[in-house]
Structure 1
């Protein structure tokens, strides 16, 4: 077998591996979106200067964050809906690769800082209204 054939086989294997990886990411995104709206966002945990790109899902009872490159369908971070508050956007926008223009907001619960999120301006009203609305089944017997 010549060196050229070895290089061709390695390039073919690399292309196939890349194609499989893209299909797996696409299938994962579809599986995540099956349980609620999913939008791109970035997360910064308290005390960390680094933003991590991911996907935000608004479920019935939880706000879930998933790492963008992971293979699992379980959230990396999850916050219960009850008592969760979101701040108004900070002035200016955050510049992050993968997000065109992003607004920085803070997630808190009873005064405790949980995380900072960078979300697109069109997504902010959706997340805010989701947090301010009553969860499904909450106070269903109110007369």
Structure 2
């Protein structure tokens, strides 16, 4: 094999790896969205200054966060809907690579602050509505 052929084979293999990775990310995103709406967001844990980019899913009983770089379909972090509270979004936009414009809000529970979330401003009303509505099976016999 000549040097040019070796370079072509290496470039082809690299392109195939990138294409396979993109297809796997697309399949993972479809699998995640099959169980509830998914939107891009970032999370910052208490005591940390670093935002981690990921996907937020609203399921019937919990708020799930998935790392954007992982291949697993199980959530990296999960917060139970019961007892969860979110603050109003900050007035200033947060600059996070991967999110066009984002507002930050704080998730809190009975044990205190759980995490900070950065969401696109148009996603916040959906998360607030999800949190304030009754979970399935709750209050069905209310008169």
Asked whether the two chains share a fold, i.e. TM above 0.5, the reply is yes
Which aligned pairs between 1:122-137 and structure 2 lie closer than 5 A? Answer: 122-137=122-137
* Counterpart check, 1:46 vs 2:46: yes
Distance in 2, Cα, partners of 1:34 & 1:66 = 14
> So what's the TM-score if we normalise by structure 2?
0.98
Partner residue, 2:108: 108
Distance apart, 1:98 and its partner CA: 1.0
Distance in 2, Cα, partners of 1:48 & 1:2 = 52
* Structure 2 SS opposite 1:55: strand
Which aligned pairs between 1:38-117 and structure 2 lie closer than 5 A? Answer: 38-110=38-110, 112-117=112-117
Distance apart, 1:62 and its partner CA: 0.6
1:32-56: CA deviation from partner (whole Å, max 9, x where unpaired) = 0000000000000111110000000
* Counterpart check, 1:3 vs 2:11: no
Distance apart, 1:140 and its partner CA: 1.5
> So what's the TM-score if we normalise by structure 1?
0.98
Q: Which has the larger strand fraction?
A: 1
Q: Structure 2 stretches of 5 or more lacking a match?
A: none
Partner residue, 1:27: 27
How many residue pairs get matched?
Answer: 143
1:108-141: CA deviation from partner (whole Å, max 9, x where unpaired) = 0026010000000000000011001110001222
Q: Structure 1 stretches of 5 or more lacking a match?
A: none
Distance in 2, Cα, partners of 1:123 & 1:3 = 52
1:64-91: CA deviation from partner (whole Å, max 9, x where unpaired) = 0000111000000000000100000112
**Superposed CA RMSD:** 0.8
Partner residue, 2:18: 18
4+ long deviations beyond 6 Å: none
* Structure 2 SS opposite 1:71: coil
